[in-house]
Structure formats: structure tokens, C-alpha cells
Chain A
């Protein structure tokens, strides 16, 4: 099966600092990667869709200047939470897809805690 690796698994940072989360597709080339945020007992909220080599498409209400997404290659996408605040604490999950209309495979998720 397809493997998506997300790093780090958890991170604690101080308020006002930035945090970068990496998402890699290990055994396939991902034409599209997705970033989600999940609060406790809630569903996955799509933050943005990114295609390799182009700017990410952000969902309504998601600040593109705060959540910087870079999809530099077919196997790597990064999410940077800039100037993090306690309300940004959440479970962030990436997923990757080979082709249009196919299933997406998920990374392990990153639990971010901002103190």
C-alpha cells in the first residue's frame, strides 16, 4: 500500500513562534496533497489543497498568511504555522493522492500544542 510519512508526530512550541510540519509520500508520486485540522471529537476540516509546483488552494476561513503551504516536489509538502497561538493547538493531518479521483492516503498526523 501507499505510505505517507508525516513529521513530527507531536510538537510543543511557545506562543509567537513558527512550526513546520512535513508530509512525504514515500513510495508514490503525489499529484495532490491535502492538509486537514482536527479538533477533539470533531471531523477533519480541510484547510487547503495543494498541487505540486503551484500555489495551494485554501478553504474559506483559512488564513493563507498564517498557514503557509509549500508543495515543492511530487513527494513533499510542508505546512508552516506562523506566529502560533494557543488556539492553533490541534491535530494536523496531511494526505496524498496519486491521481485525480483516487483514494487519499494519510500521514500519521501531528499534534501541535502551543503554550
Chain B
């Protein structure tokens, strides 16, 4: 089993809609979770992080964490064409490793 799993997509949503991205992880001891965005040929850039169960909102982005079910999700409200990118879920494992999921490709259609 891979350390961090995501649906690879591609995911297409119309402009203004909500995009929902999901991620599962295998290490029950993990405490820190991150969402990054990566444009083609570029390095990832941090969108937000979440450490506690529940929801965390930052502008149009909401991260949701459920440690019991070992999943973390990202919701993007009012999606814009500029949000089109690959979204990477990252998890810090108990051995201090920083693992990434395979990424979900999102396309927002104008």
C-alpha cells in the first residue's frame, strides 16, 4: 500500500463550482497534513496545512481532516480557471518522512 493515495483524475469542474479533492494515508500516527499545488514544470507551492480533526478554512479553500478514517480532503469554492493545476496531498509520517500523494489534476472550465 502506498503511503499517501489520491485519485489521479483528471477532475474537471465548471467555473464557479466546488472542486473536491480527497486523500488517504496509511500511518495512523501522522499528525500533520498539507495541500500543495503544482503547475507543470514548477515546484509545489503550499496552499494550506491542517493538524486537527475537523475543518479549516482559508479564503476559498477548506481542508477537512478525519484521523479516525485516515483521510484528508480539500474543497475549492468558486473555482477559477487559474486553479487548474495538480493538487498534491502531503503527510508527515512518524519517522519524520514527508510523503506526497500521486496528485490530482484539476481543470476548471471557463
Contacts and interface: CB of A to CB of B under 8 A. Distances in A.
Chain A complexes with chain B? yes
Interface stretch (B55-63, B67-75, B96-104): B96-104
A107 B43 contact: yes
Contact of B103 (A43, A49, A101, A107): A43
A106 interface: yes
B92 A46 contact: no
B66 interface: no
Chain B, interface residues (CB within 8 Å), range: 20 to 34
B98 A95 contact: yes
Contact of B99 (A46, A57, A105, A108): A46
Interface of B: 31-32, 34, 41-46, 49, 51, 88, 90, 92, 95-103
Interface of A: 32, 34, 36, 42-44, 46, 49, 57, 59, 91, 93, 95, 97, 100-109
